[in-house]
């Protein structure tokens, strides 16, 4: 396919595809899907080999958020039956992080719900960063605390933070449809503050909120313009008790096309499969590793993820390897010069608070309303491929904020 050959050539040269080319990837047929994955996989392997970076989330403060993000189980007015607790102490957070690091994670993502941190909150998180760094040599720490005020990114950097996450989530034109308590411009401003402070910017999107192909391309091109080092791709988890609880628009094939489009637009950037992969990609998760070079290990903020051991087995079975702390994730031209090292272009970083995984903790489903099941030859019910997998959405009841061992 001429389109795919062109996109591979551009990806290897770090050239920006046209909007038409990006839209064409999303419009490819199921018959062409493996060709799309193979093409984007060439770009992924060129820049990142067969390495998979593992990231681990620690939810420092769960629920009780004053923002009204429609996708989020921690939002103002949420009826979702999630864990609610205030700030973990530095030693509690460090203990939680240790579980993920023992499982092979090289980055810990410290997340707190809320509009943005107070200066006292920055002090708390700074103490936590120092505790984690003192006990774990070579670990990367990313903070995700919401909208930043002047000087806060610099303070986090001084405390030892390596990165800051704040997602754009969706296109500027549709942002007001999902959130009214802050603006798209507020999010852009926070990503720029992280850049200016010398932090590695992390910013991504949430797919599955009813957006159009044009909206997806708009937000990914906006991310490229912002030039983050990592781009988490979340797939909406419609949590009961949130306004988007009935929004199940994704299929495994749709998710793969979205990841491929992101890889072509952001060829040399850490593309991370974030919240919702288990619910929407399901048995197609190994194919997604040919597109993304980074995943979260274990659970998310408020929902459960795949068992940590299953994650590691999936990576090995698919012929990939876990990236160690002795390896630099980004290609030399990005790792050496930080963000903004594209030749004249950039690749763009999440909701009010969370590190590459929307606060709903999960994923958006897979089927239009009314999709049903059919009977198998043995009389048992067989799920249709486009049927929502609500059974795969489980609220997190272990790990941070509980007395139970984490999933890592």
Q: Please, what are the domains in the chain?
A: 2-328+344-363 (3.20.20.70)
What's the confidence (pLDDT) of residue 290? 98
CA distance 17 to 329: 23
Report the chain's C-alpha Rg in angstroms. Answer: 19
Please tell me the distance from the alpha carbon of residue 238 to that of residue 360, in angstroms, as a whole number: 7
What is the pLDDT at residue 128? 97
The closest alpha carbon to 399, from 297, 330, 317, belongs to 297
Q: What integer best gives the mean pLDDT of the chain?
A: 88
Q: How far apart are CA 136 and CA 142, in angstroms?
A: 14
* Higher pLDDT among residues 339 and 19, named by residue: 19
Listed range (118-132, 172-186, 340-354, 377-391) with the worst mean pLDDT: 340-354
pLDDT band with cut points at 50, 70 and 90 for residue 387: confident
Looking at residues 185-194, what average pLDDT do you find?
A: 98
- Of 92-101, 196-205, 236-245, 344-353, the range with the highest mean pLDDT is 196-205
The answer to whether 173 and 212 have CB atoms below 8 angstroms apart is no
- Write the pLDDT tens digit of every residue in 210-252: 999 999 999 999 999 999 999 999 999 888 888 888 899 999 9
Q: Tens digit of pLDDT for each residue in 282-311?
A: 999 999 999 999 999 988 887 788 899 999
Whether the predicted pLDDT of 134 surpasses 90: yes
pLDDT band at 79 (very low <50, low <70, confident <90, very high): confident
| pLDDT-derived band at 110, boundaries 50, 70, 90 | very high
Q: Which of 305, 181, 289 is nearest to 237 (CA)?
A: 305
Would you state the pLDDT for residue 345?
A: 39
Choose the weakest-confidence range: 73-77, 93-97, 349-353, 378-382: 349-353
What was the pLDDT predicted at 388?
Answer: 84
Please identify every residue annotated as catalytic: 65, 69, 72, 109, 142, 202, 272
> How far, in Å, CA of 290 to CA of 43, rounded?
9
Higher-pLDDT residue of 348, 234: 234
Q: Is the pLDDT of residue 349 over 70?
A: no
The per-residue pLDDT for 81 is 73
Residue 341: pLDDT band by 50, 70, 90 thresholds? Answer: very low
Angle at 113 between CA 105 and CA 96, to 5 degrees: 35
Q: Kind of pairing, strands 373-375 and 381-383?
A: antiparallel
pTM here? 0.89
């Amino acid at each position: 396919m001429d389109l795919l050959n062109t996109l591979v050539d551009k990806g290897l040269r770090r050239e920006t595809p046209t909007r038409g080319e990006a839209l064409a990837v999303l419009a490819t047929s199921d018959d062409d899907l493996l060709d799309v994955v193979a093409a984007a996989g060439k770009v992924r392997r060129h820049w990142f080999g067969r390495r998979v970076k593992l990231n681990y989330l620690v939810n420092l403060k769960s629920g009780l958020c004053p923002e009204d993000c429609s996708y989020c189980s921690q939002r103002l007015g949420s009826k979702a039956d999630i864990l609610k607790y205030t700030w973990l102490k530095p030693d509690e957070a460090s203990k939680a992080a240790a579980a993920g690091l023992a499982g092979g994670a090289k980055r810990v993502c410290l997340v707190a719900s809320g509009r943005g941190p107070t200066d006292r909150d920055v002090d708390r998180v700074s103490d936590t960063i120092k505790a984690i760094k003192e006990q774990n040599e070579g670990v990367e720490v990313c903070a995700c605390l919401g909208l930043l005020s002047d000087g806060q990114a610099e303070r986090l950097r001084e405390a030892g933070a390596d990165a800051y996450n704040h997602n754009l989530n969706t296109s500027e034109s549709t942002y007001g449809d999902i959130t009214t308590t802050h603006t798209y411009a507020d999010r852009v401003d926070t990503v720029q503050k992280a850049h200016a402070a010398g932090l590695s910017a992390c910013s991504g999107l949430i797919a599955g909120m009813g957006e159009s192909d044009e909206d997806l391309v708009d937000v990914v091109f906006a991310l490229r313009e912002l030039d983050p080092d990592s781009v988490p791709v979340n797939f909406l988890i419609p949590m009961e008790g949130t306004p988007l609880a009935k929004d199940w628009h994704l299929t495994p094939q749709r998710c793969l096309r979205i990841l491929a489009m992101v890889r072509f637009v952001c060829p040399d950037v850490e593309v991370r499969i974030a919240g919702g992969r288990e619910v929407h990609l399901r048995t197609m998760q190994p194919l997604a590793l040919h597109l993304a070079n980074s995943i979260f290990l274990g659970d998310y903020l408020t929902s459960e993820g795949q068992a940590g051991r299953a994650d590691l087995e999936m990576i090995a079975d698919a012929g990939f390897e876990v990236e160690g702390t002795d390896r630099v994730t980004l290609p030399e031209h990005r790792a050496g010069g930080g963000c903004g090292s594209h030749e004249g272009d950039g690749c763009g970083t999440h909701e009010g608070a969370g590190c590459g995984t929307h606060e709903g903790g999960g994923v958006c489903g897979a089927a239009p309303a009314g999709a049903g099941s059919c009977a198998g030859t043995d009389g048992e019910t067989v799920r249709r491929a486009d049927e929502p997998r609500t059974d795969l959405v489980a609220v997190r009841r272990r790990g941070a904020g509980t007395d139970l061992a984490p999933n890592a």
